């Protein structure tokens, strides 16, 4: 059991090799792409999702040495992760401070420390539209804003900033939701926990935070979100007590605004579509749609995408 859990911990936290710019990061460190342990060992298994870390028995280091919440990051690694800049990194340092080797998902992204705290920068416009819609619906979510050229200059020179503009891409950002006190506990990890403790995960989530659970299903249908998998939602957890808290705000909408009408729900306990899951969920919560009807089409969306959003809201109103 310990060996299996150890291997899961090591491989589960590693950067996905298919992620944008992942191969450039590993090439910069001159690391093999097929050895998760070597990659994890470089930064002592630390991440910004929780406060777990590991060291060799003969290493004379402590949490303060590896803590990503407090130590400055390797800016060159951040630039490669977000912008794809080719670089060679010093993998002989005794302590490497970068969260980029544990960043999940497919989109190009990087963690940047600003004066107000840590922010996740990523490429893409859909997060802005999703944020505006969820704000209008009063559904808890991670809010995104556009990154200014001045902020981007922390890791990018003018040529890279101009290249982003030429490609009509935007860099957006959101503030970190985890901390040294509070971890994020993804649904896929929670399911493993439940399997070992004979807990029905769906009964648990509906009992402990049913409001957020049902609002998530409604939000995903309205947004046409294809990517609410088990690593894209979950619980907050108290790092001192290990107590599981409420669901954390909705995030990661890179794959929202699909035209498909039969997207399967990845959050329902039943084999059903996003539409069916949302039509069931609408019976369990009170939600005010008036704010959405008062807002204008987000400029990041096409006219068709916006009409799809309005049509799906109308469908739920009819069902209610």
Q: What's the rounded mean pLDDT across residues 112-125?
A: 91
Does the pLDDT value for residue 218 go beyond 80?
Answer: yes
Among residues 35, 43, 3, 5, which one has the least CA distance to residue 17?
35
Domain extent at residue 74:
2-123+143-175
Same domain, 153 and 226: no
Q: For the segment 250-282, what is each residue's pLDDT rounded down to a tens digit?
A: 999 999 999 998 999 999 999 999 999 999 999
Among residues 121, 231, 133, which one has the least CA distance to residue 187?
231
164 band by pLDDT with thresholds 50, 70 and 90: confident
User: Is 254 part of a structural domain of the chain?
Assistant: yes
The CA distance from 142 to 130, in Å, is: 10
Q: Residues 290, 318: contact at Cβ < 8 Å?
A: no
Main-chain dihedrals φ then ψ at residue 247, nearest 5 degrees: -65, 140
Q: Residues 223, 313: contact at Cβ < 8 Å?
A: no
Q: What pLDDT was estimated at residue 2? A: 37
Q: Residues 250, 233: contact at Cβ < 8 Å?
A: yes
Q: What pLDDT was estimated at residue 6? A: 44
36 band by pLDDT with thresholds 50, 70 and 90: low
Same domain, 230 and 268: yes
Same domain, 151 and 188: no
Same domain, 110 and 201: no
Q: For the segment 37-69, what is each residue's pLDDT rounded down to a tens digit?
A: 677 777 788 889 988 888 888 888 899 998 999
Angle (CA) 80-81-82 rounded to 5° is: 95
8 band by pLDDT with thresholds 50, 70 and 90: very low
Which strands form 171-175's sheet, in the order they lie side by side?
A: 109-114, 117-123, 171-175, 145-146
Does the pLDDT value for residue 142 go beyond 80?
Answer: yes
Which of 133, 158, 175 marks a domain boundary?
Answer: 175
Same domain, 171 and 191: no
Q: For the segment 232-245, what is each residue's pLDDT rounded down to a tens digit?
A: 999 999 999 999 99
- Count of structural domains within the chain: 2
| Greatest extent of the chain over all pairs of C-alpha atoms, in Å | 65
Among residues 172, 197, 159, which one has the least CA distance to residue 121?
172
Q: For the segment 196-215, what is each residue's pLDDT rounded down to a tens digit?
A: 999 999 999 999 999 999 99
User: Is 131 part of a structural domain of the chain?
Assistant: no
């Amino acid at each position: 059991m310990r060996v299996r859990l150890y291997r899961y911990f090591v491989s589960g936290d590693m950067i996905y090799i298919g992620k944008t710019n992942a191969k450039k990061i590993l090439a910069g460190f001159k690391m093999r792409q097929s050895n998760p342990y070597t990659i994890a060992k470089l930064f002592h298994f630390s991440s910004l999702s929780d406060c777990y870390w590991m060291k060799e028995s003969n290493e004379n280091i402590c949490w303060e040495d590896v803590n990503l919440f407090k130590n400055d990051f390797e800016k060159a690694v951040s630039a490669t992760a977000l912008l794809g800049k080719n670089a060679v990194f010093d993998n002989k340092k005794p302590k490497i401070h970068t969260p980029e080797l544990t960043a999940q998902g497919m989109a190009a992204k990087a963690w940047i420390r600003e004066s107000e705290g840590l922010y996740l920068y990523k490429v893409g416009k859909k997060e802005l539209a999703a944020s505006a819609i969820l704000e209008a619906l009063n559904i808890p979510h991670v809010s995104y804003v556009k990154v200014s050229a001045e902020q981007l200059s922390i890791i990018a020179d003018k040529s890279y900033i101009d290249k982003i503009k030429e490609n009509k891409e935007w860099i957006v950002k959101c503030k970190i939701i985890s901390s040294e006190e509070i971890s994020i506990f993804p649904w896929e990890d929670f399911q493993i926990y439940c399997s070992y403790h004979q807990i029905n995960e769906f009964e648990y989530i509906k009992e402990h935070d049913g409001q957020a659970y049902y609002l998530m299903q409604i939000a995903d249908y309205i947004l046409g979100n294809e990517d609410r998998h088990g690593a894209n939602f979950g619980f907050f957890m108290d790092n001192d007590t290990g107590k599981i808290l409420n669901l954390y705000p909705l995030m990661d909408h890179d794959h929202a605004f699909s035209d498909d009408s039969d997207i399967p729900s990845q959050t329902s306990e039943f084999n059903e579509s996003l539409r069916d899951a949302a039509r069931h969920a609408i019976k369990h919560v009170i939600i005010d749609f008036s704010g959405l009807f008062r807002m204008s089409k987000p400029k990041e969306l096409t006219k068709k995408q916006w009409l799809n959003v309005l049509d799906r809201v109308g469908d739920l109103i009819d069902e209610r």
